[in-house]
Amino acid sequence: MSQTMLDGSSHSHADGKCPAADIFGPNPHAFCPPQDGDLRSPCPAVNTMANHGYIPRDGKHLNADIIIPALMECYNISKPFALVLTYGSLHLLQQGTKEFSLHDLARHGYIEHNASLCHADAGPGEEYAPVHPDLKMMQEFFADSAGGLVMNTEDVARARVRRESSYPGGSGLDLNHAVIACGEISAVLNIFNHPDPQLVARGVPLQPPSTFSWLFGLLGLARSPDPEITPTDGVSINVLRRWLQEERLPEGWKPYHETTLRSILLTTNKMRSIMRKLRAEASVDEVNPSSTTIASGVSAGIAATKDETSSSTGTVS
């Protein structure tokens, strides 16, 4: 048995374990992609936990007692947030049983929803949505980055508005799933928001100070932010691409900070506020087109009137 097994050579994850990861090194969370018979979901967060062995690698026979500590260990999610996330998801899933598989999360219209940023919708009449990311959609998502290096709350809000506005009526989501969609990506922005001096050197700003830090600054008690320890304002696109496409953690992964329910609610509220503003601006643009467009329309109208008048009087231009 060789190291290449961890990079995708065929083997079995019977009983949720990986023989390659068990043999090679003391790291129980070495990456191994899904093998034949393994189950996965449209959610890269839980798929990644399976690929790294935080939960059974086959994605089967899962329950709250498995998921909650795995979320806390893998992503440093606070226990209250892990409890709300897990039991809230089980309630929405409506399985009627405490046990589930990752593929159950793909059941359309329960937790899974339309207008995903990187996954295609379930087909007409399909019970389950696709579990693999759509690479074209992923590139469109990253193209919403204003600076091209990171995705921050404003970038993601722009992406969500773009995606949802592609549906008749401009949404495609009911209120519950609209909030879920923002909450999902808000968690990603919080979990992977790490210090990155190289990005700062390329012009990416640091995370804005908290209210308390801002007050300390006014009093002259705050230190200047250090890019070595202060997260950037956004998550590296390179990190997101690897995580979304390969469902794999960054090399040497260690969560920089705890992600709390409060931080997710704050980010979600900010994102939805930006989305409302973007939609309002788009509506104004539709009602009040640019002066150039108005001028063009007036000119066309005048020309048409002249043509009609000339025609009715028999005049030849």
pLDDT tens per residue across span 230-242: 889 999 999 999 9
The pLDDT value recorded for residue 220 is 54
CA–CA dist 64, 275 (Å, integer): 33
Pair 225, 209: CB distance under 8 Å: yes
Residue matched to tokens 């062995």: 53
Q: What are the sequence ranges of the domains in the chain?
A: 3-193+234-286
State the pTM of this model: 0.82
pLDDT of residue 16: 81
Question: What confidence score (pLDDT) does residue 168 get?
Answer: 84
**Residue keyed to tokens 């209210």:** 211
At residue 304, the pLDDT reads: 46
Class of the CATH-defined domain 3-193+234-286: mainly alpha
| pLDDT (tens digit per residue) in 131-141 | 999 999 999 99
Contact 12, 37 (CB under 8 A): yes
According to the model, what pLDDT value does residue 305 have?
Answer: 41
User: How confident is the model at residue 295, as a pLDDT?
Assistant: 42
Q: Are 135 and 98 in contact (CB under 8 A)?
A: no
How many residues are listed for the chain in this entry?
317
Spans of the chain, pLDDT less than 70: 1-9, 21-26, 210-225, 285-317
